[in-house]
Amino acid sequence: MSENTLYKEYVQLSHKAADLNNASAVLGWDQEVYMPPKGAAFRGQQLATLASMAHEIATGPRMGRLLKDLTHDESLTDLQRANVHRSLDDYEKNSKLPSDFVESLSRQTSECFNAWLDARKLNDFKVFAPSLEKMVALKREQANLYGYEVHPYDALLDEYEKGMTVATLDKVFEGIKRELPPILDKIRSAAQVNDAFFYRHYPKGAQWDFSMDVLRKMGYDLDAGRQDISEHPFTTSFAPTDVRVTTRVSEDNFASLLWSSIHEGGHALYEQGLPEAEYGLPLGAAASLGIHESQSRLWENCVGRGQQFWNQFFPILKGYFPEQLADVTATDFFKACNKVEPSFIRTEADEVTYHFHVLIRYELEKAILDGSLDVNGLPSAWNELYNKYLGITPPDYVRGVIQDVHWSHGMFGYFPTYTLGSFYGVQFFAKAKQEIAGLEQQIEHGEFASLLAWLREKVHRHGRRYTSEELCKQITGEGLNFSYFKNYIQDKYAKVYNITF
């Protein structure tokens, strides 16, 4: 059998595993969007079956032999070699998980998600706790199966951000604890901006239509995607030609839908920009969750919360809500979008306090995994940390410990990527402004094609060819640098609050 044929067989096997995973993703999307309540039990079984089948293909002996043979094939192109090396890393890691464990984890994810939904409806953590305890036990087992040198959290972090460790993240969050409080204190000393008009009544249908206008303008291809409603906003991709987003609506809080749609739209643009020719292969997947978050946070914050964006979109928004916004200007709206104030809900937090929300989850996840905190102690620990870092105490569970969907999906290690992604996004946007002439003027005219093309070229087309840090250095000439974020928020909030730093 020729080496070229070996690569083709590797691609075919990878496609089979991807097809099963994407079929599972369709069922997962349906579970969160349209599935009737009574479908939960069998849906868990169906998802577990598909997960086990995909795992068996991806970690089977034939895939292992193909990858080892292909690593010695000097005829491969650079891109083919990159696919093989990334796949071999995945194979060696995933082979540590027995198929029955993968199936059990999938079943528990379905059970845990449905328990989370019930807990939110009843505003009662105790409804969620038993399922979450089982999930935590499985995640500890997974960390042990993967293996780690220092902290069990390291093993799970690596799933989302290759090579990331607690030691590195501790330094990142120590910097946040050192650098952000003085900025927050300076803002708090200024006169607070008015965002009361966000809480007037905004009918759901008009909010939805405006969000669709924004998504289209951003470049989201609705022939290759759609937007729906879910309990917690998310993006899911079955291929670059089918990438879906969800959002949630509150008729008495305009910000709830808007930022969710823009944020998820940023994720979707990344997925739609991945190379179709690399479907099912590492170079057809996102570089990391941190880089994925860089795309959503760039669109949500650097673009969507900018003055130029609202100079374009506020007149359009006012057309949808003439009565609600009769006494509001574009500058008023821009400032309200950037109001800094400690709040309970992470997804609706401002750009400064947001990172304390992430820090809190990071500290809790470490403690849960190393056993220094048990599941039943989560609500009180959560409230204590909110009081410590933000000076507020959540009034109930929905605005507290059960607000996020992540733990129900077993996604321990995901939350830090939100902060890493925010910092990468700001650094990338600073470079884009240098390289795209008149970018801010284009945004002011509702023109995003140049920015999207730049992101396609610099980020999307590479897939997983580079690590986050390698990609950052390639784009900006240096690794992740917190000073970009610090300068960005100081510049923005000087304008919002009429202060100097």
pLDDT at 348: 86
Phi-psi region of 243 (alpha: psi -120 to 50; beta: other; left: phi over 0): beta
137 near 251, Cβ under 8 Å?
no
Active-site hit among 264, 278, 293, 348: 264
pLDDT at 195: 96
Same domain? 317 vs 437: yes
pLDDT at 3: 52
- Selection from 373, 262, 382 nearest residue 313 by Cα: 262
Which pTM was predicted? 0.92
Distance CA(436)–CA(380), nearest Å, equals 48
Buried b (16+ CB within 10 A) or exposed e, 114-131: bbbbebbeeeebebbbeb
Whole domain around residue 221: which residue ranges?
166-497
**Amino acid (one-letter) located at 344:** F
Counting the structural domains of the chain, the total is: 2
pLDDT digits (tens, 9 = 90+) for 206-255: 999 999 999 999 999 999 999 999 988 999 999 999 999 999 999 999 98
Same domain? 378 vs 274: yes
Q: Report if residue 132 sits inside a domain.
A: no
How would you class 33 by CB atoms within 10 Å of its CB: exposed for 0-12, middle for 13-18, buried for 19 or more? middle
- Whether the per-residue pLDDT at 2 is higher than 60: the answer is no
As a residue count, the chain comes to 501
Q: Calculate the CA dihedral of residues 386, 392, 397, 402 and round it to 10 degrees.
A: -40
Q: Report if residue 157 sits inside a domain.
A: no
pLDDT digits (tens, 9 = 90+) for 65-115: 999 999 999 999 999 999 999 999 999 999 999 999 999 999 999 999 999
- Whether the per-residue pLDDT at 391 is higher than 70: the answer is yes
pLDDT at 1: 44
Residue 41's pLDDT band (cuts 50, 70, 90): confident
Q: In the predicted model, what is the mean pLDDT of the chain?
A: 95
Give the CATH number, domain containing residue 364. 1.10.1370.30
32 a catalytic residue:
no
Same domain? 221 vs 98: no
Same domain? 276 vs 350: yes
Same domain? 337 vs 460: yes
Same domain? 207 vs 115: no
Q: Report if residue 148 sits inside a domain.
A: no
Angle between helices 416-435 and 354-370 (to 10 degrees): 140
Distance CA(314)–CA(327), nearest Å, equals 13
CA atoms within 13 A on the CB side of 220: 27
Average pLDDT over residues 171-188: 95
- Selection from 471, 439, 466, 470 nearest residue 454 by Cα: 439
Same domain? 421 vs 284: yes
Question: In 186-325, where do the E strands start and end?
Answer: 225-229, 235-239, 242-247
Distance CA(259)–CA(286), nearest Å, equals 22
pLDDT digits (tens, 9 = 90+) for 342-373: 999 998 899 999 999 999 999 999 999 999 99
Question: 10 Å Cβ neighbour count for 144?
Answer: 12
Tell me the torsion sign for CA atoms 284, 287, 293, 296.
negative
Same domain? 58 vs 175: no
Same domain? 97 vs 173: no
Same domain? 119 vs 193: no
Q: Report if residue 476 sits inside a domain.
A: yes
pLDDT digits (tens, 9 = 90+) for 482-494: 999 999 999 999 9
pLDDT at 88: 97
Same domain? 348 vs 444: yes
Contacts of residue 136, Cβ cutoff 8 Å, sequence gap at least 6: 368, 369, 375, 412
Same domain? 66 vs 175: no
3-state secondary structure 76-129: CCHHHHHHHHHHHHHHHHHCCCCHHHHHHHHHHHHHHHHHHHHHHHHCCHHHHH
Q: Where is the domain boundary, 102, 124, 146?
A: 124
Strands of 242-247's sheet in order across? 225-229, 242-247, 235-239
Looking at per-residue confidence, does 37 or 475 come out higher?
Answer: 475
